[in-house]
Amino acid sequence: MKDIFEKIYNIPGPLGQYRRNADGYFMFPKLEGEIKPTMRFNGKDVLVWSLNNYLGLANDPEVRETDAQAAKDWGLAYPMGARMMSGDSSYHIELENRLAAFESKPACYLLNYGYQGMVSIIDVLCTRFDVIVYDSESHACIMDGVFLHKAKGGKSFVFPHNDIERCAKMLRMAESYIEKEGGKGGILVVTEGVFGMAGDMGALDKIAALKKDYQFRLLVDDAHGFGTMGATGAGTGEHFGCQDEVDVYFATFAKSMASIGAFVASSSEVVDHLRYNMRSQIFAKSLPMPIVIGAMKRLELLKRGECRKKLWEIANAMQQGLREKGLDIGNTQSCVTPVYFQGDPGIACNIVVDLRENYGIFCSVVVYPVVPKEVLMLRIIPTAAHSLADVERTVNVFSEIKKNLEAGKYPNEVPMVNLRK
């Protein structure tokens, strides 16, 4: 018999393999100071493009005042217990009603966290007789929901990213499987509104159009679309004009709202079923009151639209500027702005060190297994808090990085920059 910890010593995992050279610098970095475009990293001021603060609400004066007052009035303990037992409040219900109305859905349910929320939604909606059809580039939380479904004996089919013909083929296969198994199950299609790495949108309108020929329900994870996409910021379904065809709409507070928590919106029957069956919520403490009250203020500011307009001004300027300099930003259709290079992880690490130490630019680096081998991605997250001067500076720096890479400046050796204390 082996020691259960043996694999920890010998098999670090797909990301853990980088720990020795990456911990505290490339992974688990510490950004310090006030949340704003310029923060402190490794003892230096850096222009930051990696914060999930799309609408710039993290340090908005109205938000900060609301958060502080709510913490003073309620503390972080209230309400005590899980919502089903002793943790409900009129404020939680009010926020749910506001979110449901904003998303044009009959009902809404607050969730403590986005990741665990999506896993649990899939778990509750699907029995072992049901079949899940999902996009191949779905977020890890969707994948974990699918894995849990399969662990219960359920079936799933995956289609290549945004490939509608293959999606239709998977639907046909799902129908055949259900018929062969006695017709006891149904089909849930799962995709994202905005894919958070590449920045392209899920083909929601085309998937929804498949309902003419196939019977299924559509679940959309719109973590990156909520607050940024659509005429009012209601998300990717609004952008495509197919929100009515989205049967279950999910989003988090962690991106546009710069907070914590999530929500799911659907019919009253579906939401009630989730409320009474989501184990991750039934057995978890209710969202603290300051987060709930703060979320209502954030939703109010989101609906005003000024911050979304500023976000898109910055994002459009960034993407246009990068393209004009000959940089590859892929097929992004959202504010998420990836910059692609070719090379090995060692080269990527040296590019990042150059960016942070010599140019004062901080953004996230993404390497295999998140992206294919020999693909390097530097991921830029524009926000409404940035300025056009920030954009101009960054575009010029990335143009220099491109020239440095083409000149062979960056060695394929991972530098030793472990700062973990």
Q: Which helix (H) or strand (E) holds 312?
A: helix 306-324
Mean of all residue pLDDT scores within the chain: 93
Looking at the predicted structure, is the pLDDT value of residue 124 above 60? Answer: yes
3-state secondary structure string across 206-218: HHHHHHHCCCCEE
pLDDT band at 335 (very low <50, low <70, confident <90, very high): very high
CA separation, residue 302 to residues 118, 200, 306, 310, 383 (Å)? 23, 22, 8, 12, 13
Q: How far apart are CA 288 and CA 78, in angstroms?
A: 6
pLDDT tens by residue, 381-410: 999 999 999 999 999 999 999 999 999 999
pLDDT of amino acid 272: 97
pTM score of the predicted model: 0.94
Q: What is the mean pLDDT of residues 297-313?
A: 97
pLDDT band at 417 (very low <50, low <70, confident <90, very high): low
Nearest residue to 412 via CA among 355, 344, 351, 353: 344
The β-bridge partners of 339 are 378
Q: What angle do CA 323, 224, 230 make, to 5 degrees?
A: 85
Which residue segments constitute the domains of the chain, with CATH numbers given?
Answer: 14-59+306-406 (3.90.1150.10), 79-287 (3.40.640.10)
Query: Residues 203, 237: contact at Cβ < 8 Å?
Result: no
Looking at the predicted structure, is the pLDDT value of residue 362 above 50? Answer: yes
* Dihedral angle sign, alpha carbons of residues 160, 163, 164, 166: negative
Question: How many CB atoms are located within 10 Å of the residue 12 CB?
Answer: 13
Looking at the predicted structure, is the pLDDT value of residue 283 above 80? Answer: yes
Looking at the predicted structure, is the pLDDT value of residue 10 above 80? Answer: no
pLDDT of amino acid 421: 46
Nearby residues of 353 by Cβ (< 8 Å), 6 or more positions away: 25, 415, 417
Concatenating the DSSP letter of every residue in 142-168 gives HHHHHHHHHHTT-EEEEE-TT-HHHHH
pLDDT band at 191 (very low <50, low <70, confident <90, very high): very high
- Residue with the bigger pLDDT between 5 and 35: it is 35
Please provide residue 373's backbone torsions phi and psi, each rounded to the nearest 5 degrees: -60, 145
Residue type present at position 298: R
